[in-house]
Amino acid sequence: MKKLLMMIHGDTRLRDAEPGTDGTPPATTTTTAPATTDAPTDTPATDAPTDTPDAGDLSQVTLGDGQPKTDPAPAQTPAPAEINEEDYATKVTIEGEIAKDVEVDPGAMKAVAPILKEAGVSVETAGKLVNALARYQVEQFKERNAQRFADNKRMHDAAIQKYSKADFEQINAGIDAAFKRDGVMNYIVRNSEIGNDPEFLELMKWYGAHHPTNTQPSGSGIGGGTTGQPAGFAGIAESWK
């Protein structure tokens, strides 16, 4: 008893029983991590471009070397030289391959010169316009002339088939009786389609036959005589004499 008191005296603190000594299984202890309530105050920012290039702005397109592409500076357009209206009339000419010995009407060019100058048309450009128009007109002239010659040849060939040499003598007499031999109309008749027109030839044949004082044709019986105009216009007056 004395020994027991001494033991108590030596350590008077009460102690819990050691786990497992009283037959009770030890309690399971669960450790829970403390909840984080405060978010970090310093979050590293992600570097992002502050200026987003416009999709249509090519000046912000980046090249392969990482350098932004910039539009080149616009070229400086030189100021147009002062246009002298007189140059339109004196310097614009027709190209020889279009028509030889043809000149531009200076009066016509002077008439349109103020408008050309106001529109800023250079003398060189005006020349191109004039030559384009001339080329068109020449082609149209050639086409009309080709048709004219074809029609004249058709009438000529029909007259040759219809009239004899004696008939052409009366036709020549009728022409000289109706028109002065050295007159303009006599020349036109003998140098145009009129001299091959079937109605005109029939009229001249009748006129020559009904004017006995003028039956002698102008040279129709000399040499090889005449059988009408040849197809064409160059020198056809000779075939009537």
The residue behind tokens 């105009």 is: 229
Q: pLDDT category, 75, cuts 50, 70, 90? A: confident
Is it the case that residue 72 has pLDDT exceeding 80? no
Considering 58-62, 90-94, 101-105, the range whose residues carry the highest mean pLDDT is: 90-94
In angstroms, the CA 179 to CA 207 distance is 11
Listed in order, strand segments (DSSP E) in the chain are none
Q: Which pLDDT score is estimated for 209?
A: 87
pLDDT, tens digit, 9 for 90 and up, residues 186-212: 988 888 888 899 999 999 999 988 875
Looking at every residue in the chain, the average pLDDT score rounds to: 73
Q: In this predicted model, which residue has the larger pLDDT, 77 or 53?
A: 77
| Other Cβ atoms within 10 Å of 180 Cβ, number | 11
In angstroms, the CA 151 to CA 232 distance is 10
Radius of gyration of the chain (CA): 59
Q: Which pLDDT score is estimated for 239?
A: 45
User: In the predicted model, what is the mean pLDDT of residues 161-172?
Assistant: 90
Q: pLDDT category, 221, cuts 50, 70, 90? A: very low
Is it the case that residue 119 has pLDDT exceeding 80? yes
In angstroms, the CA 152 to CA 50 distance is 87
Q: In this predicted model, which residue has the larger pLDDT, 225 or 25?
A: 25
Cβ atoms of residues 169 and 220 within 8 Å: yes
Assigned token pair, 178: 């109706």
Assigned token pair, 127: 């020349």
The residue behind tokens 């059988």 is: 227
Identify the DSSP state of 158.
H
Q: Which residues of 135-147 are buried (b: 16+ CB within 10 A; e: fewer)?
A: eeeeeeeeeeeee
113: amino acid identity, one letter: A
Q: Which pLDDT score is estimated for 220?
A: 39
Q: pLDDT category, 135, cuts 50, 70, 90? A: very high
Q: Which residues of 109-126 are buried (b: 16+ CB within 10 A; e: fewer)?
A: beebbeebbeeebebeeb
